[in-house]
């Protein structure tokens, strides 16, 4: 047995001590802020079909449940981009990714 058990760290403490984890948490927070900004623009019936993905190299990914929801969301991309710019959260592009249904 270990005579000196390690103290449990909170997620915040662990992220501050680990640059990789810190970067991942920052990316998550960044994507979540964007999602909250555009949420009012997404029709209520589609909100459960849209999830935020990461922002990588200025391109934000939105994850969609199916092609039908992707087609409807695609029409809203210009509105999303305008909204994000107005809130200081601009991205180069928004990419839509449809998840594979099993």
Instruction: Give a yes or no: residue 3 inside a domain.
Output: no
Domain that includes residue 40, residue range: 11-98
Instruction: Give a yes or no: residue 6 inside a domain.
Output: no
Instruction: Give a yes or no: residue 2 inside a domain.
Output: no
pLDDT in tens, 39-76: 999 999 999 999 999 999 999 999 999 999 999 999 99
Indicate the pLDDT class of residue 101, thresholds 50, 70 and 90.
low
Which is higher by pLDDT, 68 or 27? 68
Task: Please check the confidence at residue 1 and state whether its pLDDT lies above 60.
Answer: no
Under 8 Å CB-to-CB from 50, ≥6 apart: which residues?
Answer: 42, 62, 63, 64, 69, 73
Instruction: Tell me what pLDDT residue 4 has.
Output: 56
For the chain, the domain total comes to 1
Instruction: Give a yes or no: residue 5 inside a domain.
Output: no
Residue 14, Cα to own-chain centre: how many angstroms?
21
Instruction: Give a yes or no: residue 92 inside a domain.
Output: yes
Instruction: Give a yes or no: residue 50 inside a domain.
Output: yes
Q: Please answer whether residues 83 and 41 qualify as being in contact, where contact means their C-beta atoms are separated by less than 8 angstroms.
A: yes
Q: Please answer whether residues 58 and 91 qualify as being in contact, where contact means their C-beta atoms are separated by less than 8 angstroms.
A: yes
Predicted TM-score (pTM) of the model is: 0.77
Indicate the pLDDT class of residue 33, thresholds 50, 70 and 90.
very high
Beta strands in the chain (DSSP E): 50-56, 59-64, 93-98
Tell me the CATH number at 22. Answer: 3.30.300.130
Instruction: Give a yes or no: residue 1 inside a domain.
Output: no
Q: Residue 84 and residue 100: Cα distance in Å, rounded?
A: 28
* HSE-CB of 79 using CA atoms within 13 angstroms: 12
């Amino acid at each position: 047995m270990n005579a000196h058990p390690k103290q449990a760290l909170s997620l915040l403490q662990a992220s501050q001590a680990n640059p990789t984890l810190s970067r991942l948490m920052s990316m998550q927070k960044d994507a979540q802020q964007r999602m909250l900004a555009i949420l009012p623009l997404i029709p209520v019936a589609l909100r459960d079909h849209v999830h935020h993905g990461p922002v990588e190299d200025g391109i934000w990914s939105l994850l969609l449940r199916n092609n039908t929801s992707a087609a409807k969301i695609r029409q809203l991309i210009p509105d999303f981009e305008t909204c994000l710019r107005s809130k200081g959260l601009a991205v180069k592009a928004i990419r839509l990714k449809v998840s594979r249904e099993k």
